[in-house]
């Protein structure tokens, strides 16, 4: 257990894994995150600062991998060096990640380039925003307030350039 970043040989803060050098080449992490409005989340940004490689699974599905071996075993190594210091942002489509409203699971396997490597670093950030549903309006109805997500009530006025058009609306989506 510990806080990110997970590291030795470079960086500060987080959790130092000082026993990794000459002992093991992979690090396993697991956590959860809460999702709400999953149908409105089309993509996630996973920003990873790493030395040397990783695979990230969300709900059991590979979300992103970089500089990772083809077959990730407990003693696998990253195929080449990758230095940390700048996070790399990966945009991931959420369609195949089986996101659920509520608790979701993330698992990570970090890879060092060799047992004798003098450093290791892994820090991950996940960010997602709900997208507004895309609606088409062939009648050309005007709204006095732009679409969005709101926390407080407001008055909304609907209008149409066609004076013969009758606007009927519901608040329950029926």
Q: What is the DSSP string of 36-66?
A: S-GGG--EEEEEEEEESEEEEEETTEEEEEE
pLDDT (0 to 100) of residue 174: 63
The residues, any chain, with a CB within 8 Å of residue 44's CB and separated by 6 or more, are 58, 63, 91, 92, 94, 97, 126, 127, 128
More confident residue, 94 or 139: 94
Look at residue 6 in the predicted model and tell me its pLDDT.
Answer: 96
Structure-token pair, residue 116: 């004798």
pLDDT surpassing 70 at residue 85: yes
Contacts of 70 (CB under 8 A, 6+ apart): none
Mean predicted lDDT score pLDDT of the chain: 91
Q: How confident is the model at residue 108 (pLDDT cuts 50, 70, 90)?
A: very high
Cα separation, 174 vs 172, in Å, equals 6
- What is the arithmetic mean of pLDDT over 128-139? 74
Q: Tell me the pLDDT band of 5, cut-offs 50, 70 and 90.
A: very high
Q: What confidence tier does 147 reach under pLDDT thresholds 50, 70, 90?
A: confident
Q: Is the model's pLDDT at 132 over the cut of 80? A: no
Quick one: pLDDT at residue 165?
82
Query: Is residue 163 left, alpha or beta, with left meaning phi > 0 and alpha meaning psi from -120 to 50?
Result: alpha
Positive or negative: CA dihedral 20, 50, 112, 54: positive
Higher pLDDT, 89 or 160: 89
pLDDT higher than threshold 70 for residue 124: yes
pLDDT of residue 135: 66
How far apart are the C-alpha atoms of 117 and 114, rounded to whole Å?
A: 5
């Amino acid at each position: 257990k510990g806080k990110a970043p997970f590291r030795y040989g470079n960086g500060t803060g987080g959790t130092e894994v000082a026993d990794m050098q000459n002992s093991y080449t992979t690090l396993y992490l697991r956590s959860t995150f809460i999702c709400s409005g999953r149908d409105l989340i089309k993509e996630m940004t996973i920003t990873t600062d790493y030395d040397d490689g990783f695979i990230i699974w969300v709900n059991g599905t590979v979300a992103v991998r970089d500089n990772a071996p083809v077959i990730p075993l407990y003693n696998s190594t990253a195929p080449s060096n990758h230095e940390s210091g700048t996070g790399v942002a990966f945009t991931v489509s959420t369609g195949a990640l089986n996101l659920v409203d509520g608790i979701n699971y993330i698992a990570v396997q970090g890879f060092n380039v060799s047992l004798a490597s003098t450093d290791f670093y892994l820090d991950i950030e996940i960010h997602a925003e709900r997208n507004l549903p895309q609606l088409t309006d062939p009648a050309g109805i005007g709204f006095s307030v732009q679409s969005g997500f709101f926390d407080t009530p407001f008055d909304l006025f609907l209008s149409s350039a066609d004076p013969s058009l009758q606007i009927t609306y519901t608040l329950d989506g029926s």
